[in-house]
Structure 1
Amino acid sequence: MSFGSKKFRSKREQLAYDASLAGKYYKRLKGNPFLYFGLPFLGMMVISSYWLAGFTAIKYERDDRHVQEMNEEELTKLIKNRRKFDIKDEFYRLQGLAEEDWEPKRVERLDDESENVW
């Protein structure tokens, strides 16, 4: 047997609770739960979605500023200033190896070590 979740109150405490705002709300909530719980909850969701719509609009407006149309002069300037593309240079640049002047060198083996040549 488990104890109930309802809190025990003496008669005087129960009368004071029923006269309080929380007691009146709980009594009405038990009578019509949608009107006193569901409707305020849904109203809060609708109002907050309209309120947050302003923040999302700011985000999309900021993103739209980055994407703009280019006129022909800007496009030709962009094409003229383009650097030559070489796949080997890009490979070494992406790996950070372009800054260093080095060549791959085979590690010397010990006298009794195999060359592992297949």
Structure 2
Amino acid sequence: MGTFDNKTFRSKRQQAEYERSFIGRYQALIKKNSFLYLGLPMMLSVAFGSVILSKFTALRYEQRDEKVKELDEQQALDLATKKRKVDIKEEYYKLQGLLDEHENWEPKRVERLPGESENVF
């Protein structure tokens, strides 16, 4: 048994009016060459939208970069004139976490809750 179509019934006069309308002419063109009249405009609109949106996002990130890069004259002079001496050993110990504040560190066993096993093997 065939399926029922969703086409609305139109009289001959209504069908003629429909075929003369913009939508009717467009549907006839789509039936003749669907890619040219439906697929190509869709793909072009997606590509155009992508280009436009990429310009908006680029503008957004450029504005954020300008906020980060802006320095006043005093800060620029401080950065240019301030020379920081770097001690390689101190930097190494900072990275390793072996500075004076941690030299008295020793491992300590965590107290067990009452009834919890010691897990000694």
- TM-score, with length taken from structure 1: 0.55
> Deviation of residue 53 (structure 1)?
2.3
Gaps of 5+ in 2: 83-100, 102-113, 117-121
**1:6 match: secondary structure:** coil
> Deviation of residue 57 (structure 1)?
1.4
Distance in 2 of aligned mates of 1:15 and 1:34: 25
**1:9 match: secondary structure:** coil
Q: Which residue of 2 aligns with 1:35?
A: 36
Is 1:17–2:25 an aligned residue pair? no
Number of aligned residues: 82
Distance in 2 of aligned mates of 1:53 and 1:24: 35
Distance in 1 of aligned mates of 2:52 and 2:44: 12
- TM-score, with length taken from structure 2: 0.54
Distance in 2 of aligned mates of 1:42 and 1:56: 21
Q: CA RMSD in A?
A: 3.1
**1:1-118 to 2 correspondence within 5 Å?**
2-68=3-69, 71=76, 73-74=78-79
